[in-house]
Structure 1
Amino acid sequence: MSNLQEEIDLPLIRKECTLRKLNTAWKQKKYELHKVYDMYPTDAERKRNGPKKVKKEEWEAFVDMCSTEEDKIKRCNGKLARENMKNPHTTGRMGAAPVIEQLKKDSPTGEVSRTQGYVATHTRRDGSFINTETRQSLEEINRLVSVEPDIVERDLDNDPVAMVIGRDGRGRVRGLGGGVTKTVYHASAPYKEIAQREKRARESSESGYEAVMARLDEADKARKILEDEVADLKRQSSGLGNASQEIQQSPVRGNSRDIRPQSTTCHLKSYITKTVVALGEVCTYLPTPPSSYKVRIDEILDDFAPLYEGDGRLGDIVLGDVIAWPKNYVVFH
């Protein structure tokens, strides 16, 4: 591992995100390798029956690592810790993000409180609970909400989850998914409110905008018809060659309303921290609102950067998705 660290040279802007992704990938891969490792009772059998897609020398090194007393103690302690968890979540390895995103889609306002997220991520699909302690905790949370529905709007230290489970420590916030801290949550709150207000304003004027776009489309069609008529007249009067040259110089062709950037590859800056959070390409074939571009995401540098539209984060989307981003924070290469 020390040699690997010496060979990797990451820009600071990508370091945290890359290390977090590497850690997640290694945990998943180690889980898969352990299943093969546990199938055989001795190291000799394990080394003879390695996974097909793993190099022999790498598999043998993994077996040697797992057979040390230190690693055996770590695995044993990990199993005991999981067995003794008081309030385990029910989202599995996918995490809380997909569950919370579905709650937002089902919500009339598109907003989900921390309490709703916590209850959903600790309840099975059939409505049952993992253990008695979780059932008692969630029933008490639901009781508090039924008595005073507005209690879910309190701050993180005084909402129903904090009252029943306890206040969150440093480095995490229950019910909001992995990687969310109090600092990140509080820092993004005012900017999310600004984004919500802008979104509501855009939605209220959407019908007017569509009407303007329809009129512009009609004007484009009329302009094209006029160009064709002018071309026919010029062919009749002075031949196709001169006519083509005059049409190219005609002001009719200069009235294009859709001016695209010369380069479409770009990087996106956070409208909060002003740092680069993603790389992508502007989709010039899609309708472009006055204040934002439609960008296809090629690489995500900061999973926790909030989206321009909605309450999600960049980590909630997948590469290849098209999102809106404010024009002032799109920098072309």
Structure 2
Amino acid sequence: MGLGISKTTMKVATPYIIETRSERNARMSIEAKFEALMTQMQEFRTIVEQQFAELRQQITYQSQLLHRSPDTAASQAHRRSGEPSSIREDSATTPSMEQICQLRDIRGWTVASGRMVSDTTGIPPECIRVVIDDINVRTAELFNDDRTFEDIQLGEIVVWPKFLMRI
């Protein structure tokens, strides 16, 4: 063992050596766990970044749908169906299932946007059903109802007068 080492010195140093080894093992275990957590955190970060990218793409796509003019949407629908673009229905009288519209209040402000539903059973002829996709003014009152847009959720169907809609 070298000079100056005796049995007494070894007996006194043994508990310290054991404690040092156990602390080293504990530190190495903690470092291994830390590395595993860092790897897992990086994987979660990658997943979250991918989900954000997908959401951005969906938002971009939906905003493009909202900002398209009805003529463009109708001509694209006719191109897909194979019908000539000169054969078009009047969009104000017979809406398609996926026609996007804006709901306006009496002042002309856009309070919500959505998609028109072709089912008009049980509602006045001057109204139409709309699936709500976006709400701009939550305090606006619903037509012919005691509720406001705060009381409904996205995806619900509301009845709205045609003259207060922008297609």
Report the TM-score, using the length of structure 1 for normalisation: 0.22
Flag the structure with higher strand content: 2
Higher RCO (Cα < 8 Å, 6 or more apart): 2
Flag the structure with higher helix content: 1
The structure number with the bigger radius of gyration is: 2
Report the TM-score, using the length of structure 2 for normalisation: 0.41
